[in-house]
Structures are given as C-alpha cells and as structure tokens.
C-alpha cells in the first residue's frame, strides 16, 4: 500500500489533498443545487466568464482572485439583468454573455506575448502549487457556502422543483435565484486556481450528478457528492504522482470516471430490482 501513501508524504501533495477536499466540499454544496436546478450550462459559462478579469489582473500585475471575482460578479449581474426580460430566454442571455466575456478575455490575452503560461494555469489550474494561505481562503469559502445553503435551503428547494409555488409561498424566487448565482460564483472563483476554469466544472457537476443516482434527500446528496469529490481528488493525485500527468486534469478525469461508474452501478441495480420484481410476481 506504499504506492497509495507515499505521494502524500510530500508537503505540497498533502496541501493539494486538503485543497481538493475543500474544493470538493464547496462544489458539493453548490453543485447539488446546480444539478437539481438544471443550471449546468450556466456554471460552464460563468467559469469561462472569469477570463477577462483574470487576464486583465495578470497584465496589470494585480490579484488574480480579485480579477476573477469581479469578472464573475459582472457575469452574474448580467445574467440576472437579462433574465428579467420576458422576451429573452435565460439560455439566450447566458449564451450571449458567455461569448461576449470569452471574446473579451481572448482580446485582452492577445495583447500580451508572455501570457501563455498564465493562461495554461487559468485553464487547467495548479493544485500542486497551493499554499497554506490558499487553504485558508478555501476554508472561508466553504463556511460561507454552507451558511448560505443552510439559510436559503427552503427557498432553493422550492426554486429547484416549483418556482411558481415558491412565488405563491412568498419565498421570493428571484432573490433565491440571485443568491444561487452568487453561490456558483463563489464556488468557481474559489476553485479555479486549484483545478482551473475548464476543469472546475467537473467537480461542480460530476459528484452531485453521481450522488443523485443513489440518494434522494438533498443533505444526503451533498454529503455523498463531497465524498465522491474527495475520492476523485485522492485518485487524481495518486495517479498524477505515478503517471506523471497534470494533477488538476487527472482529478477532473477521475471525477467524471466516478460519475460513469456510479451511473453504471445505478443502472445495474435498477435492472436487478426489475428482474427481482418480475421473478417475485
């Protein structure tokens, strides 16, 4: 079993494990609502929408997290504002903002001849470069995500399953939707420097989607999703260590692989139950 534990004897790999665990927990809390609400496209668009802020911050020598937060915040406000138009579907608004923000980011990047390395880090992350300070930020983001999820639980549930009923019950679905967008922004901004914007989507979607196949209650979905995300982190880091692959991408691939294994297991369980029911009759 030495092959499993040896990587984590190195300090930066151990920090990467803690970072991946914290990111998995954040994404489990937020991703559960994304999956139940059917907002996967929005999550993908917002992860790409951070590029202008990160690119501009890099060119100006500013804080990349701050640039990402401002850009993601602008994306959130844009989605909220355009979503209020009864003549424009939310998918259309998201698509327009997605293309616009991505184009702006590429334009900014094109002005720098030395942005290739930074862009690679933005897209794919560098989980092995996580510092102790980053762990503190992730822990704070997890506390905020848990607090908002608990505070808005009733409204989020109503919004996910019956927005009209939420309006009838006075749960203010528009405000709940705005808070949910804020949670997605928090998760993406907090996680992008660990696994990158192109890969954070996997931790945000794959573990909750896998958990939904096995459990029904929302708190249970969040817990199982966090465990699956943590397992993907361990598998990804160990695989990266022994195979010499990119750590963030390997974690992402492990998360997606665990989803497909979960889907296969759920399908086998469903067929066995159907056969058992048929035999019992």
Q: What is the pTM of this model?
A: 0.86
Q: What is the pLDDT along the chain (281 residues), one digit of tens a residue?
A: 677 888 888 899 999 999 999 999 999 999 999 898 888 777 777 877 788 888 788 777 777 778 888 888 888 788 777 766 656 677 777 888 888 888 888 787 777 655 554 566 666 678 888 888 889 989 999 999 999 999 888 888 887 777 666 666 666 777 787 888 888 888 888 887 666 776 688 889 999 999 999 998 999 999 999 999 999 999 999 999 999 888 888 998 999 999 999 999 999 988 888 877 776 55
| Phi–psi pair at 216, nearest 5 degrees | -110, -35
| The pLDDT of residue 273 | 82
List the one residue out of 22, 79, 23, 87 whose CA is nearest residue 49: 79
| The pLDDT of residue 3 | 77
Contacts of 61-64 with C-beta under 8 Å, sequence gap 24+, read 64/122, 64/193
| The pLDDT of residue 22 | 94
Q: Which residues contact 270 (CB under 8 A, 6 or more apart)?
A: none
202 touches 1 (CB < 8 A):
no
| The pLDDT of residue 264 | 94
| The pLDDT of residue 170 | 64
123 touches 5 (CB < 8 A):
no
Domains in the chain: ranges and CATH? 2-276 (1.10.3470.10)
Specify whether the backbone of 38 is left (phi greater than 0), alpha (psi in -120 to 50) or beta.
left
């Amino acid at each position: 079993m030495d092959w499993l534990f040896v990587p984590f004897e190195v300090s930066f790999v151990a920090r990467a494990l803690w970072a991946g665990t914290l990111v998995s927990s954040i994404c489990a809390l937020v991703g559960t609502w994304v999956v139940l609400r059917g907002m996967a496209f929005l999550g993908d668009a917002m992860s790409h929408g951070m590029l202008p802020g990160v690119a501009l911050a890099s060119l100006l020598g500013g804080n990349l997290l701050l640039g990402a937060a401002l850009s993601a915040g602008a994306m959130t406000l844009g989605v909220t504002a355009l979503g209020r138009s009864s003549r424009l579907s939310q998918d259309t608004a998201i698509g327009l903002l997605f293309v616009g923000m991505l184009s702006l980011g590429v334009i900014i990047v094109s002005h720098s001849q030395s942005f290739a390395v930074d862009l690679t880090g933005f897209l794919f992350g560098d989980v092995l470069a996580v510092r102790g300070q980053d762990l503190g930020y992730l822990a704070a983001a997890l506390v905020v995500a848990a607090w908002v999820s608990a505070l808005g639980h009733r409204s989020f549930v109503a919004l996910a399953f019956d927005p009209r009923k939420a309006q009838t019950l006075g749960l203010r679905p528009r405000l709940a939707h705005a808070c949910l967008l804020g949670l997605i922004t928090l998760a993406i901004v907090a996680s992008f420097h660990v696994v990158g914007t192109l890969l954070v989507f996997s931790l945000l979607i794959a573990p909750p989607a896998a958990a939904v196949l096995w459990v029904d209650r929302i708190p249970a979905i969040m817990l199982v999703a966090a465990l699956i995300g943590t397992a993907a982190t361990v598998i990804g880091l160990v695989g990266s260590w022994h195979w010499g692959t990119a750590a963030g991408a390997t974690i992402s691939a492990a998360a997606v692989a665990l989803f497909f294994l979960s889907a296969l297991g759920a399908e086998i369980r469903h067929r066995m139950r159907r056969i058992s029911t048929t035999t019992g009759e």
